[in-house]
């Protein structure tokens, strides 16, 4: 196969060179009120790759990026923590053949971590792409949560832009007795 990034022959989704030079995750932190959001990549650095999101390649891309970022993060995080932590992905709906966020949360299954798959679903499926804050505020996602109550969770989304979606998700989870420790996203648009 060929590397998804440089298109040279490679045995894995990304060749070793791209993994080292281009796809080393770093942790970016953004604060939205009480909510801390950690992201692994700057959106503009992997924009070309993320634009394949709605193509068959996107499935491989999300899986490979999650293995490089979410997985090692959780392994390290849970080393220092002995309590049970849950993971809730935002709107794990199937679009273009797969649920993008589910590929990310799937890689977070390590010891003492339980993933609540497809438990926080949006009733409003309007696309936010290219839309401003005003539009996002006027068209809330209308989340419905039907997962476990009284738990501590890490909230997961693929991209954070204005934080509107994450804040709305936290509010709905709180109403269900769920405490969000922090949010993790693949990329941040800053
Ligand atoms: Zn490459």
Quick: pLDDT tens for 52-73. Answer: 888 888 888 999 999 999 999 9
Q: Which residues surround ligand 1, an ion (CB under 5 A)?
A: 3, 5-6, 15, 18
pLDDT at res. 120: 95
* Contact (Cβ atoms closer than 8 angstroms) between residue 133 and residue 125: no
Quick: pLDDT tens for 150-162. Answer: 999 999 999 999 9
* Contact (Cβ atoms closer than 8 angstroms) between residue 173 and residue 120: yes
pLDDT at res. 42: 95
Across the beta sheet with 28-32, what order do the strands follow? 28-32, 35-42, 179-188, 152-160, 85-89, 113-116
Res. 10: pLDDT tops 80: yes
**Whose CA is closest to 163, among 178, 179, 141, 146?**
141
Higher pLDDT, residue 190 or 155: 155
**11 CA → ligand 1 middle, Å:** 10
pLDDT at res. 125: 85
Kindly list the structural domains of the chain, giving each domain's residue range(s) and its CATH number in brackets, ordered by start.
26-41+71-188 (3.40.50.2020)
């Amino acid at each position: 196969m060929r590397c998804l990034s440089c298109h040279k022959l490679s045995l894995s989704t990304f060749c070793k060179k791209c993994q080292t030079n281009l796809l080393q995750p770093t942790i970016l932190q953004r604060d939205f009120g009480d909510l801390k959001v950690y992201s692994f990549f700057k959106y503009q650095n992997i924009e070309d790759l993320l634009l394949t999101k709605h193509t068959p390649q996107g499935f491989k891309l999300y899986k490979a990026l999650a293995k490089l970022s979410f997985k090692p993060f959780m392994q390290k995080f849970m080393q220092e923590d002995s309590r049970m932590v849950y993971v809730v992905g935002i709107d794990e709906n199937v679009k273009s053949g797969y649920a993008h966020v589910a590929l990310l949360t799937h890689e977070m299954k390590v010891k003492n971590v339980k993933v609540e798959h497809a438990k926080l679903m949006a009733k409003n499926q309007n696309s936010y792409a290219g839309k401003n804050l005003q539009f996002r505020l006027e068209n809330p996602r209308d989340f419905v949560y039907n997962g476990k109550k009284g738990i501590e969770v890490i909230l997961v989304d693929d991209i954070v832009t204005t934080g509107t979606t994450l804040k709305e998700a936290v509010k709905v989870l709180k109403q269900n007795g769920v405490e969000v420790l922090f949010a993790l996203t693949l990329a941040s648009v800053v």
